[in-house]
Structure 1
Amino acid sequence: MMTALRRKPPPRLAISMGDPAGVGPEVILKAAAALASRRGAPSIAVVGDLSAMRAAAARLSDVPAPYQWLPGQPPIRLTKGLGVLSISSLPARAIRPGHPTLEGGGAAYDYIVTGARMAMSGGADALVTAPISKDWMNRAGHHFPGHSELLAHLARTRLWRMMFVAGELTVVLVTAHMGFAKVASALTQRNVLDTIGLLSAHLRGALGVARPRIAVLGLNPHAGESGMFGDEEIRVIAPAIRRAQRDGIDAYGPLAPDTAFIRKAGSFNFDAAVAMYHDQGLIAVKTLEFDRAVNVTLGLPFVRTSPDHGTAFDIAGKGIANPSSMIAAIEYAWRAAAGREKTRPRVSA
């Protein structure tokens, strides 16, 4: 007698609600509505404030109704409702769209911490983070430059990188939030090599790319022009590429930054690219897919994605926030979490 194969349950995603006064609640609800009819859609638990989510839902139409969800409870289909792990009970002033508060900034921090702990403990397969106000989170006493730094701190991760996905273009940054004058001195063979290695491991493990082809950009115009315009390519970047190649990674470069993102025959000649600094990579990403770009943190012990936009306090509560980036962030987390599960080593009984 043959035993029927058990269908694997869809990935479980935790979504931190972001700043209660921002567009986070709105884009989460719109994204959930858009994904509700997808086959195999992930189960979603929003970590946030139930009152804020219900208030946002009341301003919208055709979105899942938020309901109180507790860990251990089976989620219901998105067509029936959207589960909210409500860890705050904010006053009305703190959930007023477009009017950030200290309470809201502190609550946004708590949502991230709880979501990260769910992901680290196995209570969720991935974490998607809605936008926060770094300013108001810091005013509330939580001094981190942003999500990535906070999550790395919580996970005790020393080696991590910011990656951005815009349709067919994937770019990871060697350096991120620092003034341009400091970039050259911050580049070392080690941090370029580490970036290439993290990217290769993610593409293989989460996305199933057997042998990813990785393009590495130079720092200077024309990739230094053999040292005429700077020698970072010769001293730092090229040696790091050679070391990556010796490790079995299909990396190449350094490429002239001004032509690295030119499509050939309608597609890029690589699976992902390594950029030396923030704007070198992000200008291409946001030009290509401003409304659908996704931020991914590499190096964490769990999948973390985020829409690549801010709290948009100026349009919060007006019902006009574009959910495309949140949908893309959920889709990427869904795909990456499923990919990690496929490649997870099986332990024999």
Structure 2
Amino acid sequence: MDNKYKIKLGISIGDTNGIGPEVIVKTLSDNRILNYCTPVIYGSAGILNKVRKALHAEHFNYQQADSAQALAPRKVNLVSCWEQDPEYQPGIPTPESGKASLDSLLAASRDLKAGFLDGLVTAPINKDNIQGEEFKFPGHTEFLTSYFDAPESLMLLVSGDLRVATVTGHLPLKDVPGKLTEQLLIRKLTILQQSLRNDFGILKPRIAVLGLNPHAGEQGLLGTEEAEIIRPTIMQMKERGHLVFGPYPADGFFGMQQYRHVDAVLAMYHDQGLIPFKTLAFESGVNYTAGLSIVRTSPDHGTAYDIAAQHVANETSFREALFLACDIVRKRQLETKHAV
């Protein structure tokens, strides 16, 4: 592949005291990744060198770049985000590690918005210690939705042919029923359909919609949201010619492996979708933010402070996040080329 057309992927380092730096170093120690993209880490040499030394990762090498406008092709690039490294205290969330994760995310996001990068892979942050004047969001998804001026986005978990999206994201469970409306469901289903077509190449996607209540409401005995909101929305989508089915009781749907017969599943809230997804695909799962003008992926795990610096963190999810970002960027590039 011509380096001129090599995909440039920004990588935000995440909370420096979590496992983000470790899974980044482990993933990029395999130089074959450079056949697919030019990785650009936003962090510091000090942190990376400490992790590389601890892991004995002699195959991990990088080139320091002054900016994303001056990258070395066929190399891992490092753009420094701060003059003085935060104190490296693996396993301990600190204000310094939170600020470092924000500085990295902001720098990568700025370069992505400016067009110097083709996509972004985000290592895990701590949603508490990253908070500040420039970050007042429940997580990456909400921040990036705002930063890239999208009216709405969708959290979509991906592992091979298993795709699970959520109508509501980082929201207290008690607030979920009050947020559900036909309009919201239609918007989320529309984003999901468009992403399945445009980002995953599924021309006529089949989508299963889960109910909110146990047994999908049991004909109103256990809740009315299915009859009043979810089922009418599904009927509207069917009348428009879309392959949307449900509502299904969540436990039976996953227990009977019905997800194997559709292209994606739409859950009503975070844990309803993420618990079965992570049970089925924890080490290989990827969090993709659908509905944005840019491509952003992340591993489906958190900072994992309890195993930081123990050298046991599994990098599979981060590697899959990087490859999925490459695939979607390449598909979008080809679609743009064919449209011209």
Q: Same fold by TM-score, threshold 0.5 exceeded?
A: yes
TM-aligned CA deviation for residue 50 of structure 1: 2.2
1:340 alignment partner in structure 2: 332
CA contact under 8 A between 1:50 and 1:66: conserved in structure 2? Answer: no
Instruction: State the partner residue of 1:11.
Output: 7
Aligned AA (1:20): T
Cα distance, 1:251 vs. partner? 1.2
Aligned to 1:20: 16
SS in structure 2 of the partner of residue 181 of structure 1: helix
Out of 37, 44, 47, the residue aligned to residue 49 of structure 1 is 44
Map of 1:249 onto structure 2? 242
8 Å Cα contact 1:106-1:140 kept in structure 2: no
Deviations 1:245-300 (A, max 9, x none): 34443211111212222336xx7010000000111111111110112221111222
- Of 310, 313, 326, which aligns to 2:305? 313
Work out the CA distance in 2 between the residues paired with 1:330 and 1:228.
45
What's 2:80 paired with? 86
Sequence identity percentage: 36
8 Å contact from structure 1 (residues 192, 237) kept in 2 = yes
Once the two structures are TM-superposed, the CA of residue 139 in structure 1 deviates from its matched residue by 6.4
- CA shift at 1:209, angstroms? 1.0
Poorly superposed stretches of 4+, deviation over 6 Å: 5-8
In structure 1, distance between residues paired with 2:3 and 2:77: 23
Alpha-carbon shift at residue 6 of structure 1 (Å): 7.2
The answer to whether the 8 A contact 1:197-1:244 is kept is no
**Which runs of 5 or more residues in structure 1 are unaligned?**
none
Please report how far the alpha carbon of residue 135 of structure 1 lies from its aligned counterpart in structure 2 after TM superposition: 1.7
Counterpart of 1:182 (choices 163, 175, 182) is 175
Alignment of 1:139-288 (within 5 A): 142-261=135-254, 262-263=256-257, 268-288=260-280
Question: Could you say what secondary structure the match of 1:254 adopts?
Answer: strand
Aligned partners of 2:3 and 2:74 also within 8 Å: no
**CA distance in 2 between partners of 1:99 and 1:6 (Å):** 43
| Alpha-carbon distance between aligned partners in 1 of 2:226 and 2:172, rounded to the nearest angstrom | 20
Q: TM-score, normalised to structure 1's length? A: 0.89
In the alignment, which of 265, 284, 289 is matched to residue 281 of structure 2? 289
Counterpart among 20, 29, 35 of residue 33 in structure 1:
29
1:120 to 113, 121, 125: 113
Other-structure match for 1:71: 68
Give CA-to-partner distance per residue, 1:142-201, whole Å, 9 cap, x none.
332111121122112231121112343211101122222222221100111111111111
SS of residue paired to 2:289:
strand
**1:325 aligned counterpart, secondary structure:** helix
What is the deviation of 1:39? 8.0
* Counterpart contact for 2:135–2:143, Cα < 8 Å: no
State how far apart, in whole Å, the 1-side matches of 2:4 and 2:237 are: 36
Give the secondary-structure state (helix, strand or coil) at the position aligned to 1:47: strand
Q: Name whichever structure is richer in helix by fraction.
A: 2
TM-score between both structures, scaled by the size of structure 2 = 0.91
SS at match of 2:175: helix
Q: Secondary structure at the match of 2:18?
A: coil
* Contact 2:208 2:266 (C-alpha < 8 Å) held by counterparts: yes
Give the Cα–Cα distance (whole angstroms) in 2 for the partners of residues 101 and 337 of structure 1: 34
Equivalenced residue count is 337
Q: Tell whether the 8 Å contact from 2:7 to 2:326 is kept in structure 1 after alignment.
A: yes
* 1: CA distance, partners of 2:162 / 2:194: 17
Secondary structure of the residue that 1:268 maps to in structure 2?
A: helix
Amino acid at match of 1:135: D
With over 3 angstroms needed to count, the CA separation of the structure-2 counterparts of 1:7 and 1:66, relative to structure 1, is closer
